[in-house]
Amino acid sequence: MERVVTGTFSAYDPKVLQEFLEKGFESIGLSLSHCKVLLKPNLVMGKSPQRAVNTHPDVVRAVAAALLDRSCDIYIGDSPGYESTEKALRGSGIMDVVEGMRLKVVPFDRLITKRQQSGVSPYRLFTFGQDPGAYDAIVNLPKLKTHGMMGLTLGVKNTFGFIHSLEKARWHLRAGQDRMLFASILIDIHRLVGPVVTILDGIIGMDREGPSNGRAREIGLIAMSRDAFALDHYVEGALGLATPLPITVKALEHGLIEEYDVCGHSAWSVADFEMPKSVDTDWALPSFVKSILRNLFVRKPRLDPEKCKSCGVCLKVCPTGSLVFFDRRPAFDYRRCIRCYCCQEMCPEGAIRT
Ligand code: SF4
Ligand code: SF4
């Protein structure tokens, strides 16, 4: 039976976290030693740890310390939204850990085709920026945050970062507003990555309009499991969600969530966690009706001109070309917009709201 191990923490203390990890590894039966490990944090952009946009440096520090004690050779990488991996690591505070512990940085800038033989989405080929097969183990380090399109970003969603940055927009474009299809794609990618363990940083997480510009708030949780589907399922329940989110719905539908037990603070819960105000678009209606209803009811990305610095990042990341500069400010074409909220996620100034 799979296991989710949970711990509650009031602050980031690498020593205390490492003790928890040691016990957790034992509890889930994970024995990593003398191997080549790739750490995959959630690294969206170079924002400070207080903003809760990225995995906290002290979680990375504690995981790296536990693995160094096991004589592992440790690599770290991700594909941030618009900056180089080095720049995002520096701005996030993780570079101090990298330099202090002599981890090796790997940019996810290669073009590696991976085939999913037994996927749940209609797609088989995925282009990765880094080959998970080049490592003995992938350690998945997501951050607990809300996400405009998918509700939350947790363990399974975090491995979308393996997709080459040029390809991410294409996957959004293929899925359009179909959250269930996008969930299936995320599941296929996650299973290709195959992390040996997922360790979720939810000590300070993010609610409201995440994943980049929501409210950073105390949640107090670290959860770990060999099975990210079970971990995501557990966290959704503990946050008090009335119904499962698309990734969990699809995982349940395909029998990917087996029975699991929860070890630790199983009674953990958080009051007043606020989900993003997006509208459920998974209606069982003909597609032309859905398209009309979505344009009417699904929240649109909107610009706060006071905050916009005209950097152009939103134009670069928009998969549909729905944004153009008009009078040095981005303007939206809502007929083309698929409400993926990539522009909101990547705007470094928090100038796009839904
Ligand atoms: S909305 Fe944000 S990303 Fe777009 S141009 Fe303005 S500051 Fe840059
Ligand atoms: S305008 Fe924003 S929400 Fe709309 S498709 Fe482009 S990136 Fe996605």
Q: Please tell me the distance between residue 286's alpha carbon and the centre of ligand 2 in angstroms.
A: 23
Within a domain: 62: yes
Residues 176 and 112 in one domain: yes
**Which residue segment(s) compose the domain that 349 sits in?**
287-353
Residue whose CB lies within 8 A of the most ligand 2 atoms, among 332, 333, 335, 354, for a mutation test: 332
Residue 279 has pLDDT above 60, yes or no: no
Q: What was the pLDDT predicted at 147?
A: 96
Residues 126 and 167 in one domain: yes
Distance between CA 81 and CA 72 in Å, rounded?
A: 29
Ligand 1 cavity residues, CB under 6 Å: 303, 308-314, 330, 347, 349, 351-352
Within a domain: 65: yes
Q: Please tell me the distance between residue 311's alpha carbon and the centre of ligand 1 in angstroms.
A: 5
Within a domain: 120: yes
CATH number reported for the structural domain that contains residue 300 in this entry: 3.30.70.20
Residues 316 and 209 in one domain: no
Count of the separate structural domains present in the chain: 2
pTM of the model: 0.94
Cα 223 to chain centroid distance, Å, stands at: 15
pLDDT digits (tens, 9 = 90+) for 256-270: 999 999 999 766 778
Residues 170 and 314 in one domain: no
Within a domain: 276: no
Q: Please tell me the distance between residue 349's alpha carbon and the centre of ligand 1 in angstroms.
A: 7
Residues 251 and 341 in one domain: no
Domain boundary among 232, 264, 296: 264
Within a domain: 269: no
pLDDT digits (tens, 9 = 90+) for 28-62: 999 999 999 999 999 999 999 999 999 999 999 99
Residues 33 and 170 in one domain: yes
Looking at residues 98-104, what average pLDDT do you find? 98
Residues 174 and 292 in one domain: no
Return all residues near 195 (Cβ < 8 A) that are at least 6 apart: 40, 137, 138, 139, 140, 155, 159, 228
Q: CB of 189 within 8 A of CB of 162?
A: yes
CATH number reported for the structural domain that contains residue 81 in this entry: 3.40.50.11440
Residues 180 and 308 in one domain: no
Residue whose CB lies within 8 A of the most ligand 2 atoms, among 168, 313, 339, 352, for a mutation test: 339
Residue whose CB lies within 8 A of the most ligand 2 atoms, among 322, 329, 333, 354, for a mutation test: 322
Q: Which ligand neighbours the alpha carbon of 347 most closely? A: 1
Residue 95 has pLDDT above 60, yes or no: yes
Q: CB of 128 within 8 A of CB of 9?
A: no
The answer to whether the Cα torsion of 296, 352, 199, 157 is positive or negative is positive
Within a domain: 135: yes
Backbone angles phi, psi at 169, to 5 degrees: -60, -35
Looking at residues 318-325, what average pLDDT do you find? 95
